[in-house]
């Protein structure tokens, strides 16, 4: 069974779009995603969004809800750090992490349980819904994992550390994913094996970010210990 999707009002010449369409025509959704993700063409991004349009509609909604707590984390941590309240610095991080994790778990779990109903809002094609559910099956309970990564990045930025967290994100969420596509996905060639790179890359990046944040936090808190030592 075939599923069709239509892309309109894109400001790219038909010839350029046609070149990419020829690359993915007849391919599975997983193969098309991999090809488009690694193709440095202007039309690759809108075409990849088209391929994933049904299931991907939930991503922005869930991420935006979680991102509110990331911004709050960076803001509250920087304010309390500047005000000389170290106890509130740590508290701001853990509260923001707990809320963002909870939101990701609840919304992702709801998407997993009611995925077909949600996808039916965007398409009536059963084949498209089935393909979307393969994505939801992997991503449903994976959104909460990203909370550890993004909230910790925000916490590091709240302490004034921006360069290293950015490098870690590039390595974990970009370089690692390319390696995954050429190794794990190249071996299995299945949709779940492609989508699994998201929670795996988030978990790996989160671990590195947490280690770095713990180091930065200890270094940053020393400024509040100096007066006590002098006394």
User: What pLDDT does residue 161 have?
Assistant: 94
Which two structure tokens, joined as six digits, stand for 185? Answer: 């996905």
Residue 210 has pLDDT above 50, yes or no: yes
Q: Domain check: are 38 and 114 in the same one?
A: no
CATH code, domain with 19: 3.90.470.10
Q: Domain check: are 77 and 163 in the same one?
A: yes
User: What pLDDT does residue 173 have?
Assistant: 84
User: What pLDDT does residue 92 have?
Assistant: 95
Q: What is the mean pLDDT of residues 143-148?
A: 94
Q: Domain check: are 110 and 185 in the same one?
A: yes
Q: Domain check: are 34 and 75 in the same one?
A: no
Q: To the nearest whole percent, how much of the chain has pLDDT over 70?
A: 71
Mean pLDDT in the chain?
80
**Domain total of the chain:** 2
Q: Domain check: are 200 and 93 in the same one?
A: yes
Q: To the nearest whole percent, how much of the chain has pLDDT over 90?
A: 48
Calpha distance 72→161 (Å, rounded): 16
Return the top range by mean pLDDT from 2-11, 52-61, 90-99: 90-99
5: Cβ contacts below 8 Å, ≥ 6 apart: 50, 51, 53, 128
Q: Domain check: are 163 and 81 in the same one?
A: yes
Q: Find where tokens 């947490």 sit.
A: 210
Reported as a pLDDT band with limits 50, 70 and 90, residue 118 is confident
Q: Find where tokens 């094609």 sit.
A: 125
Q: Does some domain include residue 2?
A: no
Q: What is the mean pLDDT of residues 196-210?
A: 94
Q: Domain check: are 69 and 149 in the same one?
A: yes
Q: What is the mean pLDDT of residues 23-28?
A: 56
Q: Domain check: are 69 and 147 in the same one?
A: yes
Q: Domain check: are 186 and 213 in the same one?
A: yes
The kind and range of the H/E element at 84 are none
Residue 89 has pLDDT above 80, yes or no: yes
206: Cβ contacts below 8 Å, ≥ 6 apart: 145, 146, 148, 149, 152
Residue 228 has pLDDT above 60, yes or no: no
Q: What's the domain range around 95?
A: 52-223
Q: Does some domain include residue 136?
A: yes
Q: What is the mean pLDDT of residues 16-32?
A: 55
User: What pLDDT does residue 53 have?
Assistant: 60
Q: Domain check: are 87 and 26 in the same one?
A: no
64 near 40, Cβ under 8 Å? no
201 near 173, Cβ under 8 Å? yes
Reported as a pLDDT band with limits 50, 70 and 90, residue 145 is very high
Q: Domain check: are 40 and 94 in the same one?
A: no
Q: Domain check: are 109 and 210 in the same one?
A: yes
Q: Does some domain include residue 96?
A: yes
């Amino acid at each position: 069974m075939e599923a069709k999707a239509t892309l309109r009002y894109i400001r790219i010449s038909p010839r350029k779009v046609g070149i990419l369409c020829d690359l993915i025509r007849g391919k599975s959704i997983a193969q098309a995603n991999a090809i488009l993700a690694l193709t440095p063409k202007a039309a690759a991004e809108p075409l990849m969004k088209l391929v994933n349009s049904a299931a991907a509609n939930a991503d922005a909604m869930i991420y935006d809800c979680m991102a509110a707590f990331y911004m709050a984390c960076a803001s509250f941590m920087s304010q309390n750090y500047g005000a000389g309240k170290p106890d509130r610095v740590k508290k701001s991080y853990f509260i923001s992490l707990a809320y963002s994790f909870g939101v990701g778990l609840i919304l992702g779990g709801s998407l997993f349980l009611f995925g077909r109903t949600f996808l039916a809002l965007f398409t009536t094609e059963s084949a498209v819904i089935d393909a979307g559910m393969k994505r939801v099956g992997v991503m449903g309970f994976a959104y909460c994992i990203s909370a550890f990564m993004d909230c910790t990045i925000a916490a590091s930025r709240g302490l004034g550390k921006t360069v290293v967290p950015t490098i870690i994100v590039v390595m974990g969420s970009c370089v690692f994913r390319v390696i995954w596509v050429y190794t794990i996905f190249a071996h299995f060639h299945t949709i779940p094996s492609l989508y699994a790179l998201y929670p795996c890359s988030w978990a790996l990046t989160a671990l590195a970010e947490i280690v770095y944040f713990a180091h930065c936090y200890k270094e940053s808190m020393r400024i509040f210990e100096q007066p006590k030592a002098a006394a």
